Amino acid sequence: MGFKRKDLLGIRDLEVAEIEYILNLSRSFKEINERSIKKVPTLRGKTIVHLFYEPSTRTRTSFDIAAKRLSADTYSITASTSSIVKGETVLDTLKNLDAMRPDVFVIRHSASGAPHMLAAHTTASVINAGDGMHEHPSQALLDMLTILDKKKRLDGLNVVIVGDIFHSRVARSNIWGLKKMGSKVVVCGPATLIPPNIEEMGAEVSYRLEQCIPDADVIMVLRLQKERQQQMMLPSMREYSTWYGINAERLKMAKKDVLIMHPGPMNRGVEISPEVADGPHSVILDQVTNGVAVRMALLFLLAQR
């Protein structure tokens, strides 16, 4: 089947065969990242623009590294150092950058749906690098690749996503993806941080971490998004950590081969303790490594249309 789309805007719309195709291709790019010379000429002459309206360390850097390892030319626009601060709209910004004829835009924006709107106004490909509370498709793909590397399957696995589900685009993309690939997904957190309609996406809901941990093959810990919590949705960080923090004591209840994941950035000591984040079950840095390979695959597929 391959992957014939102009854009990658979310996981929700993807077919299982498309996800499998991207993950298989990502695996072949992993090998390039282990070489001493990590560069191939595949995208020579192609232009990638990173347009980030929100902060990012992992996503922006790994898209940039991915593009450069494929020999594409890359340009990064951040909100604070561009004419965005003078009041230029996101659409005007896109139209002006589009006039320079790039091949791919990689966009992060605080508004859900912003990449979809922009994709309708450019013939270049658009990759959603995180839009509001909606989707973060490349994160879900690198998460699925990491689970597959370690567990050799997604089908039949029990994945528990813990924490601030309400504000999490990572959770939404992972629920869409993991459910399509046959995993069971349980979301666990305080009621105020679980969206009311999350079961419609196929996830089960639990408010008791102790009930979820023993059966989990994978525990995906989410960052408590302090910047998105305008209304007080929690009594205190300390209380959150007491009830939902993943620490060494709680991990004693888990399977011996449980995987601990976190998309980053972590609030150490809040949603995850340092000994778990850095411990033997953690695959958090494997996720970051796989992020480069997945983003190479995505840029390869979209820039070569």
Contacts with ligand CP, 18-57, as mask; x by CB under 6 A: --------------------------------------xx
Judged by CB under 6 A, the residue of 125, 139, 183, 273 near ligand CP is 139
Angle 169-180/137-151 helices, nearest 10 degrees?
50
- Count of residues in the chain: 305
Tokens of 79: 């909100």
Cβ at position 55, least distance to ligand CP in Å: 6
Interacting positions 107-136 with ligand CP (CB under 6 A): 130
Instruction: Name which of 56 and 213 has its Cβ closer to ligand CP.
Output: 56
DSSP of 192-257 = GGS-TTGGGGT-EEES-HHHHGGG-SEEEEPP--GGG--S--SS-HHHHHHHH-B-HHHHTTS-TT
Tokens of 224: 């408590």
Instruction: Name which of 182 and 265 has its Cβ closer to ligand CP.
Output: 265
Instruction: Name which of 164 and 184 has its Cβ closer to ligand CP.
Output: 164
Tokens of 272: 């995850």
Q: Is the peptide bond before 265 cis (omega within 30 degrees of 0)?
A: yes
CA distance 112 to 189: 23
Cβ at position 294, least distance to ligand CP in Å: 12
Cβ at position 64, least distance to ligand CP in Å: 11
Residues contacting 98, CB < 8 A, separation 6+? 105, 121, 122, 123, 124
Should residue 174 be labelled a site residue for ligand CP when binding is judged by CB under 6 A?
Answer: no
Cβ at position 155, least distance to ligand CP in Å: 25
**Residue whose token pair is 């298989």:** 24
Cβ at position 302, least distance to ligand CP in Å: 19
284-296 burial, b at 16+ Cβ within 10 Å, e below that, comes to bebbbbbbbbbbb
Cβ at position 108, least distance to ligand CP in Å: 7
The residue range among 36-44, 151-159, 184-192, 260-268 that interacts with ligand CP, by the rule CB under 6 A, is: 260-268
Should residue 59 be labelled a site residue for ligand CP when binding is judged by CB under 6 A?
Answer: yes
Judged by CB under 6 A, the residue of 58, 68, 250, 255 near ligand CP is 58
Interacting positions 263-282 with ligand CP (CB under 6 A): 263-265
Instruction: Name which of 57 and 83 has its Cβ closer to ligand CP.
Output: 57
Interacting positions 67-86 with ligand CP (CB under 6 A): none
Residues contacting 27, CB < 8 A, separation 6+? 145, 293
Residues that bind ligand CP (CB under 6 A): 56-59, 130, 139, 263-265
